Structure 1
Amino acid sequence: MGDMMNQETLMQWIIILPLLAIPGILLFHKKPNLREASTLIVGALLLIAVVAFYQGFDATSGSYVHWWELMPGLDIAFRAEPLGVLFSLVAGSLWLVTSIYAIGYMRGHGEANQTRFYTCFAVAISGVMGLAFADNLFTLFVFYEVLTLSTYPLVTHAGTDKARHGGRVYLSILLSTSILFFLFAIIGTWAEAGTLTFAQGGVFDSTTSKTMMSVLLVLFIFGIGKAAVMPFHRWLPAAMVAPTPVSALLHAVAVVKAGVFTILKVCVYVFGIDLLADLDVTDWLLYLATAGVLLASLVAMRQDNLKKRLAYSTVGQLGYITVGALLATQAGVLGGAMHIVAHAFGKITLFFCAGAIMVAAHKTEISDMRGLGKTMPITMIAFFIGSMSIIGLPPAAGMWSKWYLLMGSLEAHQWAVMIVLMISSLLNIAYLLPIPLRAFFDGNRSVVSIKREHIKEAPWPSLLALSITAIMTLVLFFWPQVFYGLAESLASVAGGTNG
C-alpha cells in the first residue's frame, strides 16, 4: 500500500512541479542566471519524477487521485494509464532539453520579455501533465484549455503586428473548435453514456445508436483542433511567428502532441477500437486524415521558409497519428503511440536546428542555406538525423512507428492508406533531405571543406540541446523498449473488449 501511496503522491507532484518554477522565475527576473537556474532545477526534478513514476507504474492497478467534484459526475481526477505515462515521459524529458536550448537561443537572439516566456512555458508544461493523467473527459478538457491559453502569450511573444495576427489565428481556431465541437462531443457523450470517465473498451454500450456515435466521433476529431486535422490546421503555420523554442514546444512537446494524444485517448477509451471499426464514418474520417497527410506534405515542399516547411511537415506527421487511431486496429494504435515519441524527438531536433541557423547564420530561407555545413557542421548533422527519423529511415526512431502504422493498414485492409503513407514518406525525403545535402555538398556536388576557423555554431546551450535530441533519436531506434512497452500495453488495452 505504501508503494501505491507513493505513486499517487508522485503523480500529483508531476502535475504541480512545473508551477513551482514560477516563484523563482519571477523573483529573479533581474538576475537571468538565477532565473534560468530555477527553470532548469525544476525541469530536472520533473524528469526525475516522471522516470520514477514510470518505474513504479503498474498498468493493472493504475494509480488514481481525486481532487474535487464540481457536480455529481463532473470531477477533476487523475489516473495513470499507458498512453498518459508515455506522453508524460516525452514531455518531461523534452521540457528540460527545450529549456537548455531556450537559454542559448533567447540570449543569443537578445529576446525581450524572457521572464514572461519562462513563466508561460512552465504553466504550459503543468497543463500537459494534467492532460496526460486526466481520468475523464472533463478533466482533460480543463487542462486542454489551460494549455491553449498559456501558450498564446508565447505565440505573440515578439509583440509585432505579425505576431499578434498569428496569435489571433492561433487562439480563434483552437478556442472555436474546442467550444463548438469538442465541448458538444463531451456533452453528447455524457448524455448518451451517463459518464465521462475513460474506460477500457469504451464507455458506450450496445443500446447507443450508431448514428449518434458517428456524430460524436466527427465532433471529437474536428473539435480536437490541436491535432491540426485539415481544414482546422491553419493555426499551426500561423503560430510560426513565435520564437523557435516556442515552435519546438508547440510542435514537439506540448500543443500538437496534446491534440493527437487526446484523439488516441478518445478512440481507445471513449469509443474502443471494436466499436470504431463498426462505424461507417470511421472510414471517411480515416480517408480525410490520410488526404491531409498527403496535402500537407505537398504544401511543405513548396515552402522556402524553413520553419514554415517544418510546420506543414508537422501537420502531415500528426495525420499519421490520427490515421493510426482511426485504423481501429491494435497495430495502428501501437504505431500511433510510437509516432508520438518518434516525431517528438525528430521534429524538436529539426526546430532546434532551424533556430540555431537563425541565431548563428541569420538565415531563415532554405535557398540561402547552401554550403552551411562548413560553418555549422554539428547543426547540419543533427538536422540530417532528425530528417531521417521523420522520413522513417533506419537507424532513426521514426522507422518503428511507420512500420507499425503500415502493419495497422494491412491489418485493416486499408491498401489506399498504406500507399499514401509510403508516398508521403517519399515526399518527406523530397522536402527534408536536400537541406542537409546542400549544406555539405555545394553546387557542383563537391564536399564542403570544414575548417576549424570557419566554424560559427549557435551558443553552446542550444548546440548541446540539439545534440541531445539528435542522439536520442538514434538511441530510440536501438532501444525503443521503454516506449514500445507502454505503446504495446495501450494496444492490448485497446484490443481487450468490454464483453
Structure 2
Amino acid sequence: MNPIFAALAIPLITTLAVAASGHRARLRDTCTLLGGVLLAMVIFSAWPSVLAGERPQWLAWSVLPGIDILFRLEPLGLLYASVAAGLWPITSVYAAGYLNGAHEQHHTRFFTCFALAIFAAMGIALAGNLITLFLFYEVLTLSTWPLVTHKGTAEARRGGRIYLGVLLTTSIGLLLPAIVWTGSLAGTTDFQPDGILTGKASPPVLGLLYALFLFGIGKAALMPFHRWLPSAMVAPTPVSALLHAVAVVKAGVFAVLKVSVMIFGLDNLLETQASEVMTWVAGFTILMASIIALQQDNLKARLAYSTISQLAYIVLGASIATSLAAQGAGLHIVMHALAKITLFFCAGAIYVAHHKTLVSQLDGLGRRMPWTFAAFGLASLSIIGIPPLGGTWSKWWLTLGALDADQYWIVATLAISSLLNIAYLLPIVARGFMRPLPTGDGAPETTAGEAPVSMVAPLSLTALGCLAAFVMAEPVIRLLQEAIQ
C-alpha cells in the first residue's frame, strides 16, 4: 500500500470509527489506540526508504490547471509526521485517564476531533505544494476549535473565539495572499529541495513575502500573533498537549521551516538577506515570551508562554538560513515536542490528583507525586538544554548555525533564553521536592498521591524519551541532512 495513502486513511477511518462508537467507551478507546499504533507503524516503516532516497508521491486531485492536491513523502515532512504519529497513541492513553479522572464530559466528541486533527497534521506533513498545505492547515484549525471550547464555559467559548479569530485571520489575510503571490512569481507552488523563488524577485520583495508567510502561519505564534496560544489554555490538558507538542504549533513551525527551505531556498534567503528582519522578530519573541512566563503563577499559562518562546527558536533557525541552523530548527521540533508534552502531562496529573493549577500551590507535592515531579524535572532540563537530555543537541546546532552566519547576537539571545528557562521552570521542581507541605488552612485537602497509572505511565515514557533523544539523535540528524543540504 502507498504509505501516503495509508498515513491519511488511518486517522480518517479512526475518526469515523470513534464517532460511530457512541457511548461505548471501551470500543472508542480501542479504536483510538489501534489507529494511533497503526499510523505510527506506517510512518516509522517509511524511514529506511526515504533515507535511501525514495520520494513517493500521490496526486489526489487536479482541481484546475496548476491547482493540485498533491502529496509527497520527503525527509522534512517525514520528521513532522513521525512526531505526530509517535505521540498520538501515548496522548490517547493519557487523555482517557485524564478525562475520567477530571470527570470531563463528551468523550466521544473529544476523541473524534482529536483523530481528525491528526488526519490534518498528516496532510500538512505530506503536502507536496502550498495549496495542499493551506487546505489541511485550515482543517487543523477547524478540527481543534471544538477541543479548545470542550468545557462549554463562557471562558472556554471566549478562548475559542480568540483561537479561531487569530488563526483564520492570519491564514486568510496573510498566508493565502503569500501563496498566490508565490505562484504568480514562480509559476508553481510545488515544494522543491532548493526552493522555487531564486532569481524570481528582488530582495525587498522577497523580504516582504517572507514576512507574509511567517506572520501568516499564525500557528508558529510569533509576536504579535501569539494571543491564541495562552487563550487556548482553557481547554483540558490533553488538548494543551495536542496544541503544544503533537499537532498544532508543530504544524506552524514545520510549515515555516518547509517554506524557508523548499520555497525560498536557504542559499537564496542568505544571499538576499530577505529573512534578516524576521530573525530579529524571532529573537524578540524568544526573550519577551520567557520574561512573561516568569510572571505567570498559573502553571499552564507559564508553560504556554514557554512554548511561544521555544517555537521562536525554530523560526530563528529557519530565518538564519544556514544549513546548520535549519537542521537545529528541525531537531528542536522533535526535542521540544518530547519535553513540552511531558510538562503538560505533568500539569494535568497534578490537577487530577490534587486539583492544583497555580505554581504557588505546589509546595511539597513532589513528595506525594515523585514520578510526576521527576518527569517534570527531566523535561525542564531538556528545555534548558542540559546534557544528557535531547534539547542539548538542538540548541547546540542552532548556536553553531548562528556562528556560521556570524550572528553573535543570536548566540547571546540563546544563552539568555536558557537562563530564563532555568528561572521559570526549575523553581517548580524545587517547590515540589524541597519545600514542606503546607499546614493549617493551606494543608492539602486529601492524602492522594500520584494520578492514575494511565496518566503517570505516558508522562514517564515521554520523560524517558527526552533522555533517549540525546543518545539516539543520529537518525533524526541523518534525516535532516537529507532534507537540508
TM-score range, shorter chain: over 0.9
Q: Is 1:365 matched up with 2:326?
A: no
Select the residue among 9, 28, 31 that pairs with 1:38.
31
Select the residue among 181, 184, 187 that pairs with 2:174.
181
RMSD in angstroms over aligned alpha carbons? 1.3
Q: Structure 1 regions of 5+ residues with no counterpart? A: 1-5, 445-452, 493-499
Q: How does 1:4-153 map to 2 (within 5 A)?
A: 6=1, 9-58=2-51, 60-153=53-146
Q: Which residue of 2 aligns with 1:381?
A: 374
Which whole-Å deviations, capped at 9, do the CAs of 1:290-338 have from their partners, x for residues lacking one? 0110000000000000000000000000000000000110110110000
State the shift of 1:253 in Å: 0.9
Counterpart CA distance in 1 for 2:142 and 2:396 is 36
Which whole-Å deviations, capped at 9, do the CAs of 1:407-463 have from their partners, x for residues lacking one? 01100111111101110000000000011111111169xxxxxxxx96611111111
Q: How many residues align?
A: 477
Give the SS at the match of 2:151.
coil
Q: Structure 2 regions of 5+ residues with no counterpart? A: 438-445
Tell me the amino acid that sits aligned with residue 402 of structure 1: K
State the shift of 1:19 in Å: 1.4
State the shift of 1:395 in Å: 1.2
State the shift of 1:269 in Å: 0.3
Select the residue among 387, 411, 415 that pairs with 2:404.
411
Give the SS at the match of 2:152.
coil
Tell me the amino acid that sits aligned with residue 291 of structure 1: F
Counterpart CA distance in 2 for 1:158 and 1:205 is 48
Would the aligned equivalents of 2:335 and 2:391 in 1 still touch at CA under 8 Å? yes
| TM-score (normalizing by structure 2) | 0.96
Tell me the amino acid that sits aligned with residue 138 of structure 1: I
Q: How does 1:74-473 map to 2 (within 5 A)?
A: 74-442=67-435, 456-473=449-466
CA 1:70–1:431 in 2, change beyond 3 Å: closer, same or farther?
A: same
| TM-score (normalizing by structure 1) | 0.94
Counterpart CA distance in 1 for 2:287 and 2:52 is 36
Counterpart CA distance in 2 for 1:182 and 1:271 is 15
Tell me the amino acid that sits aligned with residue 266 of structure 2: I
Tell me the amino acid that sits aligned with residue 321 of structure 2: A
Which whole-Å deviations, capped at 9, do the CAs of 1:69-117 have from their partners, x for residues lacking one? 0111110011111110111111101011100100100000110111100
Identical positions, percent: 50
Tell me the amino acid that sits aligned with residue 63 of structure 2: L
Counterpart CA distance in 2 for 1:207 and 1:145 is 28
Q: Is 1:480 matched up with 2:481?
A: no
Give the SS at the match of 2:406.
coil
Would the aligned equivalents of 2:185 and 2:200 in 1 still touch at CA under 8 Å? no
Larger mean CA deviation between 270-279 and 298-307 belongs to 270-279
Q: Which residue of 2 aligns with 1:449?
A: none
State the shift of 1:188 in Å: 0.3
Tell me the amino acid that sits aligned with residue 110 of structure 1: H
Counterpart CA distance in 1 for 2:371 and 2:51 is 40
Tell me the amino acid that sits aligned with residue 481 of structure 2: E
Tell me the amino acid that sits aligned with residue 137 of structure 1: L
State the shift of 1:205 in Å: 3.7
Give the SS at the match of 1:233.
coil
Which runs of at least 4 in structure 1 moved beyond 6 Å after TM superposition? none
Would the aligned equivalents of 2:204 and 2:274 in 1 still touch at CA under 8 Å? no
Counterpart CA distance in 2 for 1:490 and 1:300 is 33
Larger mean CA deviation between 274-283 and 136-145 belongs to 274-283
Would the aligned equivalents of 1:374 and 1:454 in 2 still touch at CA under 8 Å? no
Would the aligned equivalents of 1:59 and 1:82 in 2 still touch at CA under 8 Å? no
CA 1:116–1:289 in 2, change beyond 3 Å: closer, same or farther?
A: same
Counterpart CA distance in 1 for 2:162 and 2:189 is 30
